[in-house]
Amino acid sequence: MKILVLGGDGFCGWPTSLHLSDQGHEITIVDNLSRREIDLELEVESLTPIRPMGERLRVWKELTGNEIRFVHLDLAEEYDRLEALIAETAPDAIVHFGEQRAAPYSMRSTAAKRYTVDNNVRGTHNVLAAIVATGLDVALVHLGTMGVYGYGWSGSAPIPEGYLTVKVPTPDGDIDREILHPANPGSVYHMTKTLDQLLFAFYAKNDGLRISDLHQGIVWGTQTPQTVLDERLINRFDYDGDYGTVLNRFLMQAAIGHPLTVHGTGGQTRAFIHIRDTVRCIQIALENPPAAGDQVKVFNQVTETHRVAELAEMISKLTGVEVAYLPNPRKEAAENELNVDREKFLELGLNPTRLSEGLLEESRDVAVKYRDRADTTKIIARSTWRKGMEVSPDLVKE
Amino acid sequence: MKILVLGGDGFCGWPTSLHLSDQGHEITIVDNLSRREIDLELEVESLTPIRPMGERLRVWKELTGNEIRFVHLDLAEEYDRLEALIAETAPDAIVHFGEQRAAPYSMRSTAAKRYTVDNNVRGTHNVLAAIVATGLDVALVHLGTMGVYGYGWSGSAPIPEGYLTVKVPTPDGDIDREILHPANPGSVYHMTKTLDQLLFAFYAKNDGLRISDLHQGIVWGTQTPQTVLDERLINRFDYDGDYGTVLNRFLMQAAIGHPLTVHGTGGQTRAFIHIRDTVRCIQIALENPPAAGDQVKVFNQVTETHRVAELAEMISKLTGVEVAYLPNPRKEAAENELNVDREKFLELGLNPTRLSEGLLEESRDVAVKYRDRADTTKIIARSTWRKGMEVSPDLVKE
């Protein structure tokens, strides 16, 4: 297949591009390098030493003979170039990771809120409008988030894969209706993915676009079989308060002897997936697209669920590093259950990497190996959901 | 009250600004004049001779002594000026009409789709972000659309005012959940108002913003007690294929002896409201805002429902002009029932203008009076929902 990977320089996009290239697909990465630019703005760096795109692609070609093309392009700001690229490439599929993806960053400032909405909504809509404008039959696979659902809405029922059948009371008795699971986003970032859902539903209905939306849990891990081939192919590892995801943050904190920072009670249950499974899920979604005229195909891209405090305790036991309970900068329930339907990918052959298998390897090969690159002043979360919310005290004195 | 009226130069915004000024409120109109610019692009004009904003406001002051301020500002593109304006004015309320509002225009071209999404979503989000950034307690009243609901979803149950209680099946039995009525927009324009709903829900929940969303039906009529005071205050009347709403289009067609153009079977049932009631509804919503922490307050701003063919026949009988059935450029059901809850405004004192009362006056004082200004080549709808859909044949030879 010819595939465009939008956002192919990012944490999920890069290993996905290599995985699909490795499978024999013809890959074009499209990226505005915004993730690297936000690193400059936040004055942080990936714990792992990521290389410029040109070097990454040169090394990949040397090692495997596979050519990946790179187009530096902003989805939100350069519509005409995007449409021309799609028309000229005539891809079979587009994988869309090209959105600002950190919830704390999206709540950090007015500018960050606005950037997140403007970039994500315009970019996604431009992709849809461009597919329609070219008239090509292109399957779209989009990375959504479990955060579109919120938590604990449906009592003891698991969160379904996108759609829910409810009973609507009418004067003639209850009628069954299938609805998109109601949106309950917890941040401006998550909100943009609920907007994306409505864009997708409309373009699937009006234009017959073939769209899959993958509601992913929190990704952990760093390397895939491809990124591990050469240090110059290494994937990024974020540990800062805005972009660091909880499990990777704990592993890095443990590696440098920094207390494991839990925000709030740690009773929040979250869904997880290893980056190796992310790239496999994208492949499976590409191989199983909906037909034209179908509704958007929604998958929950999740392999296990854990309470945050439970993860911290697990890593604390493994490493001897203590757990620190800090104020919660988010507006969210102190505790929640989380029960998620995740059958679709399993039925299509996903064989998940368990937390219990991958944790030590991740800690040894990434967090410990690169710990000297850490800037400890960037670990603590400073973004708050509303003005006046308590922020975390500094835990490590220089 | 100090009130900003965003989009105060438009068809609903202008008479609302005058009505609220007449009630003694201190009004600032904020508008980028995009509606007049789109007229230039489409090479059409309001049937009624609308005047420049400066003249409109000068005449209003001469007649009533009331000063209305005007700020030429683009909500989507000029965030910093918008935030500064809100901070400096410290309004009690903001009425938000500032969005591209024609469904056919929003489907006309890739550029028009993109403009509608980018302008409407960014503008609305900028307003929300600016209210949060200033920290002021400002009630927001937004003009939504009945089109967020779609048609005929809930069987014999009427479309509720925003929220619906459904039964969700769980292993422990059904549980009741109140949800925002599922979105089922029929055009890119309508879709943007479903996105607005999610923006509002988030900012009400996260920041305690006080927001009312008014889901309006199709507006008919032109004048209000204020716009009728002087011809230089006259409201706009659109009759072209993109911006002309169905009933006003019929009246104008009748006035010039042009067949009344029904798209499809005419079995589509739609909800209507007179412009005089629109301005009263806005006033009522301003006087009854939600409290901080409340969910978004949703009203259905609708006074009656009719089938399109029924309206055409009614006007045909009144005027002797025949009805022409043309291809339908929209993707929609050929026929639908429409049953709408509309108690809230009635309970708060709205006394609706009935179609049966206002039709003749409208025909005589507007459509007939200004019929010589009509460009008959602009009457027929040319925008289609998908490439290759049939367009309407020309009916009037020059």
Please provide the DSSP assignment of A259-296 as one string: PEEEETTSB-EEEEEEHHHHHHHHHHHHHSPPPTTSPP
Is the distance from CB of B94 to CB of B126 less than 8 angstroms? no
pLDDT of residue B85: 98
Number of residues written out for chain A? 398
In chain B, what residues touch A117 (CB-CB under 8 Å)?
Answer: 121-122, 125, 199
Is B125's Cβ below 8 Å from some Cβ in A? Answer: yes
Contact A191 B202 (CB under 8 A): yes
Is B175's Cβ below 8 Å from some Cβ in A? Answer: yes
State the Cα–Cα distance between residues A27 and A95, nearest whole angstrom: 10
Domain ranges within chain B, ordered by starting residue: 2-378
User: Computed over its alpha carbons, how large is the radius of gyration of chain B?
Assistant: 21
Closest residue by Cα to residue B100 from B39, B43, B153, B50: B39
- Which CATH fold would you assign to the domain B2-378? Rossmann fold (3.40.50)
pLDDT of residue B365: 87
pLDDT of residue B378: 92
Using CB atoms, pick whichever of A117, A174, A182 lies closest to residue B179.
Answer: A182
Name the 3-class secondary structure at A80: helix
Q: Containing H/E element for B326?
A: strand B323-326
Is A334's Cβ below 8 Å from some Cβ in B? Answer: no
Q: What are the helix (H) ranges across chain A?
A: 13-22, 34-42, 53-64, 79-89, 103-106, 110-134, 188-207, 246-256, 275-287, 308-319, 343-347, 355-362
B345-366 pLDDT per residue, tens = 999 999 999 988 888 788 888 9
Contact A157 B168 (CB under 8 A): yes
Question: At B22, phi and psi to the nearest 5?
Answer: -60, -30
Residue matched to tokens 């399957």: A139
Query: Can you read off the two tokens belonging to residue B178?
Result: 């109140």
pLDDT of residue B396: 60
In chain B, what residues touch A154 (CB-CB under 8 Å)?
Answer: 168, 170, 175, 177
pLDDT of residue B357: 82
B92-125 pLDDT per residue, tens = 999 999 999 999 999 999 999 999 999 999 999 9
Contact B166 A165 (CB under 8 A): no
Contact B198 A198 (CB under 8 A): yes
pLDDT of residue A392: 80
Interface of B with A in 227-266 (CB under 8 A): none
pLDDT of residue A389: 86
In chain B, what residues touch A125 (CB-CB under 8 Å)?
Answer: 113-114, 117-118
Closest CA in chain B for residue A182: B179
* Mean pLDDT taken over chain B: 95
A-B C-beta contacts closer than 8 Å: 138
| pTM summary value | 0.97
Is A316's Cβ below 8 Å from some Cβ in B? Answer: no
DSSP letters along A124-178, please?
HHHHHHHHHHHT---EEEEEEEGGGT-SSTTTTSPBPSSEEEEEE--TT--EEEE
Helix axes B246-256, B308-319, angle to 10 degrees: 20
Contact B110 A130 (CB under 8 A): yes
pLDDT of residue A211: 98
B317-356 pLDDT per residue, tens = 989 999 999 999 999 988 998 999 999 999 999 999 998 8
Percent of chain B with pLDDT over 90: 88
Question: At B354, phi and psi to the nearest 5?
Answer: -85, 150
pLDDT of residue A396: 59
Which of the residues in chain A have pLDDT under 70?
152, 396-398
- Homologous superfamily of the A2-237+273-303+338-352 domain (CATH): NAD(P)-binding Rossmann-like Domain (3.40.50.720)
Contact B167 A169 (CB under 8 A): yes
Mean pLDDT confidence for B198-212: 98
pLDDT at B74 over 70: yes
Query: Can you read off the two tokens belonging to residue A355?
Result: 């937390």
Percent of chain B with pLDDT over 70: 99
Using CB atoms, pick whichever of B121, B194, B206 lies closest to residue A331.
Answer: B206
Is A132's Cβ below 8 Å from some Cβ in B? Answer: yes
Mean pLDDT confidence for B140-144: 98
